[in-house]
Structure 1
Amino acid sequence: MALYRRYRPETFAEVIGQTHVTEPLRHALANNRVNHAYLFSGPRGCGKTTSARILARALNCEQAPVADPCGECQSCRDLARGGPGSIDVIEIDAASHGGVDDARDLRERAFFAPVNSRYKVYIIDEAHMVSNQGFNALLKLVEEPPPHLKFIFATTEPEKVIGTIRSRTHHYPFRLVPPKVLTTYLEELGRTEGVTLEATALPLVVRAGGGSVRDTLSVLDQLISGAGDDGVTYDLAAALLGYTPDSLLDEVVDAFAAGDGGAVFAAVDKVVETGQDPRRFAEDLLQRLRDLVIVANVPDAISIGLIDIPGDRAERIENQASRFGRAELTRAADVVSAGLTELRGATAPRLLLELVCARILLPGADATPDGIQARLDRIERRLAMAGDTSQPTTPAPAPSAAAAPAPAPASPAPTSEPAPTPTPAATPSPAPTPATPPPAAAPAQTVREAEPTPTPTPGTVGVADVRRLWPQILDKVRGLRRFTWVMLSQNAQVHSLEGNTLTIGLVNAGARDSFARSGSDGVLGTALTDVLGGTWRVEAIVDPSAAGGATPPDGPAERPSHAASEPPAPQAPPQGAAPEAPTASAPPVPSRPERASADAIAAARATLREDSARPEAYDPDRHARADDPAMDNDGLSHEELLSRTLGAQVISEIPHD
């Protein structure tokens, strides 16, 4: 027997979620003030027919008037859950007996007295299917029935019952059962059945039931039938009911927060390739956005029960909500809601779903007030990030180009006559030379270790925010030091973020060592401070997946793609190749590729170590001139620059012509 039949309530106390109906009926039964006709309306599976049977059972109980049937008398046993039924309680399906002839037949039989019970009760299910002629044939009987006759009409569409019938009944509207009440009921039922129900699976079952007890129990019955030793798990419920897994929804929401269109469309492709319904995916995404909107507007929504989310997902939802503005979330939910209407009956659901995602990613293309407010949200969040992470009393990790002349007013100028304080600041003074650095011009790494490092507010700046703003950070680095910009744009990527420590992945150990020795971490830290605010610490690790990027516009000539994959062993030069003639300022280039000698490499690295150990202040302008061959090469060739800066040796070149 199905679950919804095995657990059909036998008393009003067992009916869940309908106290606004069951309590007045119990009081009417106990006070013996029962009307001759009732109209029970509401969605399917909410207990209308069940309550009608309980009402008939209580009316004919031998202990009546009583609020709940005793369950012991013959009438109560006949009308019990597995009982044979009573001849005096007649259920009529109006879907197949709603004509005028059926109504006339009922009218003729209604005047006969009950056989064994106190009342003859007619339960007319699906009453909205009775025709107008049938209702008119019953009108006089319903208006003035004999004392032993009771009518109970049950319908899902009370507006289709003609007004003359409705006006002669007591109308009790049934409602959908709240999710919390239904979840508690399912937990108790699982314990009774001895089946393990995973906490994360119950919301899916309740959602599939749509608030209908009968539909929910049917879904649960199906899941229990197909469950294994672990019981009803989240994976089983999501797969069988067709819902989008939480992991995929998290991936999409994180991609929207970071503005990562590639990840968003990859998730859409995953939805289609796995055979999921794009419309169901849009519904699940709208449900997730609804949760985020509530959390964004009510920070303690989860703790006070506004959202029914298991504890292990609560922190994840709060973190996602903190990465959006309220206007952004509302606009995204509106876009998905409108897209759901377009997806109904669409011939190309994937295309429409991708267009919905594109609208969410591009608030700048939305000229409506919602789109403008979404853009303002992004700007305010950026400003809030900078304001929360910055410390006014904490010095910057390294002096920038704009702050370099600042120590000049502090040094007393040897003048013969006194001058007011503003005078030295108004007169442009030359930048301090490396020979006499100001006291604050210590190496960037030393300054970072000596000063206290504030920790950004948790949840304010995430790794997704840094990745989204990475192009702006690189622009800042390019203005500070070209060498660092070339290394970061071609050989590096953002790896992770912990507090105020940003980890950069470089393509190999040589690039990592060069990044650390050249003070590029201080340059990147200064750029992060300019863009994000606060004080940042930069660490570099080896990450082979960081390879890639475009060659800088004024960088070295492009080389064939196979040059980087040549083995270190010496190989014969290509046929017909001739060595390039040496210049006066550059050593001759060998005619065939061979590795530099160990002594040359050691000498180059020693030079780098001596340069990096030199206690000079970090001056962006000076480093830009020294590290950018396009600005000042001191008469050195590109081979000497590569050898001196990177410890590299040019193997071969291809002429531009």
Structure 2
Amino acid sequence: MENGAGQEGEYRVLARKYRPSDFDGLIGQEAMVRTLSNAIEAGRLAHAFVLTGVRGVGKTTTARIMAKALNCQSFDGPTMTPCGVCDACVSISESRHVDVLEMDAASRTGVDDVREIIDSVRYAPVSARYKVYIIDEVHMLTKQAFNALLKTLEEPPAHVKFIFATTEIRKLPVTVLSRCQRFDLRRIEPDVLVGHLKGIADKEGADIDDGALAMIARAAEGSVRDSLSLLDQAIAHGGGHVAGDAVRDMLGLADRGQILDLFEQVMKGETAATLDNLRRQYDRGADPIVVLSDLLDVAHWLTRLKVVPDAGEDALASPAERDQGRDMAAKLAMPALTRAWQMLLKGLGETRTAPSPIAAAEMVLIRLAFAADLPNPADLVKQLKQNGGAGAPAAGSPHGTAGPGAPGPGPSAMTGSTAAPPMSGTGPARMTVTGATTGSVSGPAAGLAAGTVAGLAAGTVSGAAVVAIRPDAAPETTAPFPPPATYEGLVDLFRSNKEVPLAVVLSDHVRLVAYAPGRITLNPSARAPADLSLRMKQCLKTWTGMDWTIAFSSEGGDASLREQAQARQQQIRDEAMAHPLVRSVLDVWPEAELISVREERVDTVDAPPDAPSDTGEAAYDDMGDAALDDLFDL
């Protein structure tokens, strides 16, 4: 067969044409091959095997090779080197051997399909040494099918072998796994995969660049079948000569060098250059989601370089890329890299769901650029502790110039100084900013306000920022909130302070037994958290400044606030349904429904002092009659 042509001249894809026919052709699975070889030599072959791994690493191919090794007619017994030319080897390769039965569990999942196997195992093989059952995607079998197979799988006849293949090993019952020998087929290493692809390209007479092979191997993620499919497509795309640019355009990838430049620009805070670089790659056909994924890979690679310098020896990276990566890893701090990883990871999810992926990707990079040169909060706190009050400005200084003990601006800091406005707070941790930066704010962070302790802790000041923080001379002792007079007010206090989960529990899953400011007795339901009392005490102590006594009772108590609200709503609805206006409307339109009822207050400011209030039923009837008249006038 020349150039993949079959006997009738049809083209065979590379993934089928170069499917291994023996164990020597398997790549990257040395541990499994060694185990099987030793088992055959020692005569210790198991009766059932399960092969697991990601798609395209050779599970079904390995099962067929094992079937040929068991039944090759050129040897007196099982062998690790089947001939591949005998009738048994040829028929097994073509999936037509009468004693090697392949079943796709994705399409035959029921117990009836397994029953056919159970009924046939008792019969001896027709022409082979062993009757082999290969069940692909075995995890798709139903629970009843697995249970029906268990007895036969545990004690099959001596002439029967089972070989299972699956990509979802965790979905197999433990009772099945315990009856099989398990082999985990690994992803193929990038350098091994590149060498394999290069050999196939040479056999096909295709001229392909090393960079193109590296891109294909990276996109395949360790799958041989995926890599061969991409290679097949690349050869057709390039017309015999496959260049890196052609593969990049075919896969919608960005240039690896441009990705490194983009990451470097982002981490330097060069927003304009970042957006221009991203837009150029997008115009050339790069997918924004792929660009962010590549930036995640770069962040991970540089982080590994910081921890394990040997990680820079990436087989898929060119020497120039490795040198650039080492230089970037040396300049970037670990907190900056981990922050970039978290922001890119979150931004990738946003981009996948955004209406405009390119707009979402740009927003992600803008956020990252503005946050890239922010200091590490831990380092900033350490710096503040070391400087103490030395960075405080002189009295009457209009710009808040730092004292003589403050260091000068960092390499990326802008010249000038920026005063930090005071910040007031509450509680014992209340502090006031009295110092200023000596290097001011650098890069995109210049647009961020650096005045509050919260902002400083988040890293809003970069460069050599020195800010002195001192406690207030007189800590504030007044509680932020007075103790609520009612239980409803207590629930509103939790809700207004954004303790919504506790507010929901107190409103929906608790019955009030007794309440007084500072002391509560509750009858909680089973859905209330076990630490409800502790959490309530902590919050109320912070908000009201007093210790609260919270007791629980298993009996008594009013209806929960939610039940009371529902009862009130039902009462209002019943009153509305009984109103003459509503009854008149329902008489005219029997199929009409009352959707909702809203309480409405009637303004009585202009009413004479002695006149009866219009908030009662009379006013309600007058309004209802007028509305009814208007309705029938239509």
TM-score, normalised via structure 1 length: 0.53
SS at match of 2:133: strand
1:75 to 88, 104, 117: 88
Q: Does 1:284 align with 2:297?
A: no
Are 1:95 and 2:103 counterparts? no
1:26 correspondence with 2:37: yes
Matched residue, 2:255: 245
Deviation track 1:314-373 (CA, whole Å, cap 9, x = no partner) reads 333334444433433332233212222332322343343233222322338968748959
Contact 2:71 2:130 (8 Å CA) reproduced: yes
Q: Find the counterpart in structure 1 of residue 326 from structure 2.
A: 318
Q: What corresponds to 1:340 in structure 2?
A: 348
Shift of 1:169: 1.3
Confirm whether residue 156 of structure 1 aligns to residue 164 of structure 2. no
| Higher-RCO chain (CA-CA 8 Å, sequence separation at least 6) | 1
Give me the CA root mean square deviation: 3.1
Q: How does 1:134-533 map to 2 (within 5 A)?
A: 134-228=145-239, 231-299=241-309, 301-302=311-312, 305-306=313-314, 308-363=316-371, 369=377, 472=415
Q: CA deviation at 1:198?
A: 1.0
Aligned to 1:112: 123
Distance 1:233 1:2 in 2: 21
Offset at residue 234 of structure 1 (A): 0.8
Equivalent residue letter for 1:139: L
Deviation per residue, 1:415-442 (Å, 9 max, x gap): xxxxxxxxxxxxxxxxxxxxxxxxxxxx
Residues 43 and 300 from structure 1, CA distance in 2 versus in 1: closer, same or farther, beyond 3 angstroms? Answer: closer
Structure 1 distance, partners of 2:380, 2:239, is 51
- Whole-angstrom CA distance in 2 between matches of 1:364 and 1:339: 15
**Deviation of the 1:57 alpha carbon:** 0.5
Q: 2-side partners of 1:310 and 1:324: how far apart?
A: 21
Does the CA contact (< 8 Å) of 2:216 and 2:230 recur in 1? yes
Encode CA deviations 1:113-149: one digit per residue, 9 max, x unaligned. Answer: 2111111111001101111111222222212212211
Give a deviation string over 1:55-75, Cα, whole Å, max 9, x none: 111111231232221334321
* Structure 1 residue matching 2:134: 3-state secondary structure: strand
Identity of aligned residues (%): 37
- After superposition, the Cα gap between the structure-2 partners of 1:96 and 1:364, relative to the gap in structure 1 and judged at 3 Å, is closer
Deviations 1:516-565 (A, max 9, x none): xxxxxxxxxxxxxxx9xxxxxxxxxxxxxxxxxxxxxxxxxxxxxxxxxx
Deviations along 1:269-293, one digit per CA (max 9) or x if unpaired, are: 3344445322111011122233333
Assess, with a 3 A threshold, how the Cα gap between structure 1 residues 11 and 374 changes in structure 2: closer, same or farther: farther
- Match for residue 14 of structure 1? 25
Judge conservation of contact 1:363–1:375 (CA < 8 Å) in 2: no
User: What is the distance in 2 between the residues matched to 1:31 and 1:71?
Assistant: 23
Q: 2:139 aligns with which of 128, 150, 155?
A: 128
Letter in 1 for 2:290: R
Q: Output the amino acid matched with 2:300.
A: R
The question of whether the paired residues in 2 share the 8 Å contact of 1:257 and 1:323 is answered with no
Aligned equivalent of 2:16: 5
Task: Select the residue among 34, 46, 59 that pairs with 1:35.
Answer: 46
1:85: how far off? Answer: 3.2
CA distances 1:62-94 after superposition (whole Å, capped 9, x unpaired)? 3123222133432123234xx463111110011
SS at match of 1:344: helix
* Distance (Å, rounded) in 1 between the aligned partners of 2:308 and 2:135: 46
C-alpha distance in 2, partners of 1:145/1:374?
69
CA contact (8 A) 1:297 1:326 kept: no
- Following TM superposition, the consecutive aligned residue runs of length 4 or more in structure 1 with deviations greater than 6 angstroms are 364-368, 373-376
- Structure 1 or 2, whichever has the larger Rg, is 1
User: Could you tell me whether the CA contact under 8 Å between 2:109 and 2:140 is conserved in 1?
Assistant: yes
Counterparts in 2 of 1:274 and 1:234: CA distance versus 1, 3 Å: closer
- Give the counterpart letter for 1:88 in structure 2: D
Which residue matches 2:60?
A: 49
Checking the alignment, whether the CA contact within 8 Å between 1:42 and 1:48 is kept in structure 2 is yes
Alignment CA distance shift 1:145-1:196 (3 Å):
same
Q: Which sections of structure 2, spanning at least 5 residues, go unmatched?
A: 1-11, 385-409, 417-463, 465-634
Provide structure 1 residue ranges, at least 5 long, that are not aligned to the other structure: 377-464, 474-530, 532-657
Shift of 1:15: 0.9
Counterpart amino acid of residue 336 in structure 1: L
Check the 8 A contact 2:150/2:175 in 1, yes or no.
Answer: yes
Q: CA deviation at 1:242?
A: 0.8
Provide the rounded CA distance (Å) in 2 between the counterparts of 1:278 and 1:312. 24
- Rate the CA distance shift 1:354–1:60 in 2: closer, same or farther, 3 A: same
Tell me the SS of whatever aligns to 1:39. strand
Q: Deviations over 1:553-585 (max 9, x none)?
A: xxxxxxxxxxxxxxxxxxxxxxxxxxxxxxxxx
What residue in structure 1 maps to residue 457 of structure 2?
none
Q: Aligned equivalents of 1:153 and 1:243: distance in 2?
A: 36
Offset of 1:188 from its aligned partner?
2.0
1:61 and 2:69 correspond: no
**Is residue 131–residue 159 contact of structure 2 (8 Å, CA) maintained in 1?**
yes
CA–CA distance in structure 2, aligned partners of residues 212 and 221 of structure 1: 14
8 A Cα contact 2:267 2:373, kept in partner: no
AA of the residue aligned to 2:270: D
SS in 2 for 1:182: helix
Q: May I ask how many residue pairs the two structures share in their alignment?
A: 381
Q: 2:160 is matched by which residue type in structure 1? A: L
Task: Flag the 1:165–1:364 CA change in 2: closer, same or farther, 3 A.
Answer: closer
SS class of match (2:135)? strand
Which amino acid in the other structure matches residue 141 of structure 1? Answer: T
- 1:212 partner amino acid: S
